[in-house]
């Protein structure tokens, strides 16, 4: 018999199994498509097509949803893994010129690229291997929250949502673990928190009714969308009901028709002048 003492708890997974999309409205679809598809190298969802009123952009198993309206800006940044950071840099330098006159900017860091979209959303791009096995995807979002909010946020996600969380030693940062290799990081800031403009995230949960019961009892449900989806916006401290932060969550059950939907991703290296037959689709590279 094997006498190794395995720590089984290290591979437990909390109640939120996936963060599927980040939704920020954009005022100009062609410009948004130029940024998210042409510059960042992601893929316009070929099946869910809304015409000029919305565009869904696939990033591995995650998406950006970009309905047309006045710009919304996430209060923090979106962490993204791209297949090739070097070729992203080339596209930022070349195609990025067409975004002159907007808030678009980018900065090379030691192991990532900090990019600002034309309307001020911050996106941090990493190489494959930075977050588990992901070679293309949205492994995390970081949200900037008011001072002293992190411990209560940790309690909310543990006690209400049924997640595992990591509160750091200073208790000023809390990471909510999602599925095998995603997370939401809530980081305290002393700067005044920006006005919440209604952007949202979508998550899938195993226990759908448990969080709903608490949220309903505390008047926190903002939308009863359908049998497999509800929404809430305000994160409160379950100890005393103190309001801590606002970000709308689209909460979906595993019976939602779009759970684990197969998303099409292209190979952003393909171009008119370097076209290679049979290499149109994104294919994960062999892990050495």
Footprint of Fe ion on this chain (CB under 5 A)? 23, 202, 250
Nearer to Fe ion, 23 or 72 (CB): 23
Do 189 and 148 meet the contact criterion of CB atoms below 8 Å apart?
A: no
- Tally of CB atoms within 10 A around 177: 18
Place of tokens 């900065």: 107
| Minimum CB distance to Fe ion, residue 17 (Å) | 16
Cα separation of 221 and 228, whole Å? 14
| Minimum CB distance to Fe ion, residue 134 (Å) | 21
Nearer to Fe ion, 130 or 253 (CB): 253
| Minimum CB distance to Fe ion, residue 231 (Å) | 9
Nearer to Fe ion, 202 or 247 (CB): 202
Nearer to Fe ion, 74 or 202 (CB): 202
Nearer to Fe ion, 155 or 231 (CB): 231
Q: How many Cα neighbours within 13 Å face the side chain of 244? A: 26
Q: What are the backbone angles phi and psi of residue 164, rounded to the nearest 5°?
A: -95, 140
| Minimum CB distance to Fe ion, residue 200 (Å) | 6
| Minimum CB distance to Fe ion, residue 202 (Å) | 5
């Amino acid at each position: 018999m094997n006498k190794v003492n395995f720590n089984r708890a290290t591979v437990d997974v909390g109640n939120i199994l996936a963060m599927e999309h980040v939704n920020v409205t954009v005022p100009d679809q062609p410009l948004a498509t130029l940024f998210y598809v042409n510059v960042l190298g992601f893929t316009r969802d070929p099946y869910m097509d809304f015409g000029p009123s919305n565009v869904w952009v696939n990033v591995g198993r995650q998406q950006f949803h970009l309905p047309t309206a006045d710009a919304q800006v996430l209060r923090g940044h979106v962490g993204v893994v791209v297949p090739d950071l070097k070729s992203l840099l080339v596209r930022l330098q070349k195609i990025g010129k067409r975004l002159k006159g907007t808030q678009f900017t980018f900065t090379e860091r030691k192991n990532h690229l900090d990019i600002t979209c034309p309307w001020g959303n911050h996106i941090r791009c990493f190489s494959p291997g930075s977050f588990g096995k992901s070679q293309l995807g949205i492994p995390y979002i970081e949200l900037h929250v008011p001072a002293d909010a992190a411990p209560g946020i940790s309690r909310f996600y543990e006690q209400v949502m049924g997640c595992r969380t990591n509160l750091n030693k200073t208790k000023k940062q809390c990471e909510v673990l999602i599925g095998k290799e995603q997370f939401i990081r809530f980081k305290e800031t002393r700067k005044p928190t920006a006005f919440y403009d209604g952007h949202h995230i979508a998550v899938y949960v195993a226990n759908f009714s448990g969080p709903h019961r608490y949220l309903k009892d505390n008047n926190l449900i903002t939308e009863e969308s359908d049998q497999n989806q509800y929404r809430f916006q305000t994160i409160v401290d379950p100890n005393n009901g103190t309001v801590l932060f606002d970000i709308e969550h689209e909460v979906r059950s595993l019976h939602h028709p779009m759970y684990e939907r197969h998303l099409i991703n292209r190979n952003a290296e393909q171009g008119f002048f370097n076209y290679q037959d049979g290499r149109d689709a994104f294919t994960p590279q062999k892990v050495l």
